[in-house]
Amino acid sequence: MSEDYKRTYSQIDDWSDSRELLANARKQANQRNFDDVFIVDIDSHISDGGAWPEIMDLVEDPVIRDAASAFGDGSKRGAFLNHTPGLQWQNVWGRIPHGQGLKEPVEDTDVPRDVVLVRKSIDQMGLDYQVVFPNALLFLGMHPVPEMEVHLATAYNRWLVERILPEDPRIRAMLYLPFNNPEAAEATVKRFLGKPGVAGFLVTSSRHKPVHSNEYMRLYAMLEEAGQVLGFHTHLNWQDEYTSQLNRFISMHAISFVLCNLVHLTNWVINGLPERFPKLKVMWIESGIAWLSFAMQRLDHEYMMRTSEAPLLKKLPSEYMRDMFYTSQPMERSNEALLAATMEGISANSQMLYASDWPHWDFDLPSVIWDLPFLDENAKRNILGYNAARVFDLEIPERYSKVAAE
């Protein structure tokens, strides 16, 4: 905890200091000596809409940039965004204040507000790196104006690279790929590859373009050649025909956050993309892990009977899945035996990477991994940090003398 912060122990509300909110996280980190554990958070979120006007100033199309002023009573706040009602339901109607975004006042104006907030969570959770992704872009793949995806994503990527990442080497980002426009996605890789702080590239999974479409092959080849991670970050979609039948956020979130990645992963495997791009590092983000045991068994079961429909495959779907990477959050753990079996099934020791999803309503702390009784210490250290260091080629601070076995 920052030395200059004194706890209040008062009721936590939408405007509470996140150091107060995460004080017990710091306590957990001290109790588990996390200062001796290399920890990387692969997925957290920047939730501050206050920076949106600044981001709109980085839109490169002069007409669209000018048109942003027509939004937010001239403030440009929220310009062109296509959020769905779901995001406004994440705080369980006031029960989880941070679920609606961190609203706390920030006194330090030397750096962007988001940098201050990210630093607080890094310090309280005991992290070494935190990979951030903007809330505002999670649903952008469903924008009714397809070209808007390119305009907004490029502006946001620029803002991250030019204004946020240079402020602190512990902050990294996976940049948004405007996936509905394959040529623009390729241009994004070319433009930002190698920029300081860029950890990899990411596709938001709420979209209706099949990942095996031929138009993506050049993009995948580029990422494979560059040794970059391609992440698929899940999100809700309450408008799909099936999910539109779900009348409660709990139901929609439980299903929708898995469904999109389940579809993309199935297409990825059955169309033989792991055979076409064997060195491409593919990562599935924020769908939890319980779905993976289902997908492995289901696809293996059907593949053995319908092998002719997946002729590019040279081994079982589950074996390809064991070569891919998965973030840990939200870790479903009400049944420890099922969790242990799933982690064994996906070779979590080498393929799972810790993610917090902070400050979203279902965030996980590093203790969720550290306290699992069926993992040995090497596995815990791998999942919490060393797998990320290997996959993202992150520098491990010298103070960590103990290096976990892969």
Partner 1 sequence: MVELFVAKAGDIADRDRCVVVEGDLEIGVFRLGDDFFAWENNCPHMGGPVCQGKVMNRVNEVLDDGKKSHGFEFVEADVHIICPWHGFEFNIRTGVHPGEANTRLTQYEVVVRGEDIYVRT
Which residues sit at the interface with partner 1, rule CB under 8 A?
9-13, 20-21, 23-25, 27-28, 92, 94-98, 361-365, 367-368
Cis peptide leading into residue 182 (ω within 30°) = no
Torsion of CA 387, 165, 114, 40, to 10 degrees: 10
CB closer to partner 1 out of 270 and 368: 368
Strands (E), 101-213: 129-134, 171-176, 198-204
Give the Cα separation of 337 and 87 in Å (integer): 32
Kindly write down the DSSP assignment for every residue of 198-264, as one continuous string.
EEEEEEES-S-S-TT-GGGHHHHHHHHHHT-EEEEE----TTSTTGGG--SHHHHHHHHHHHHHHHH
Handedness of CA 307, 312, 313, 317 (dihedral sign): negative
- Which two three-digit tokens encode residue 176? 């948004």
Give the Cα separation of 101 and 344 in Å (integer): 35
- Kindly tell me the burial class for residue 206, based on how many C-beta atoms sit within 10 Å of its own C-beta (0-12, 13-18, 19 or more): buried
Give the Cα separation of 53 and 158 in Å (integer): 14
Among candidates 180, 187, 134, 188, which has minimal Cα distance to 156? 134
Q: How far separated are the first and last CA of the chain, in Å rounded?
A: 32
CB closer to partner 1 out of 20 and 123: 20
Among candidates 174, 173, 114, 185, which has minimal Cα distance to 149? 185
The amino acid that residue 263 corresponds to is: V
- Kindly tell me the burial class for residue 83, based on how many C-beta atoms sit within 10 Å of its own C-beta (0-12, 13-18, 19 or more): middle
Handedness of CA 219, 222, 225, 227 (dihedral sign): negative
Residue 6 is given by DSSP the state -
- Which two three-digit tokens encode residue 79? 């310009």
β partners of residue 352: 326
CB closer to partner 1 out of 176 and 249: 249
Among candidates 22, 33, 16, 36, which has minimal Cα distance to 404? 36
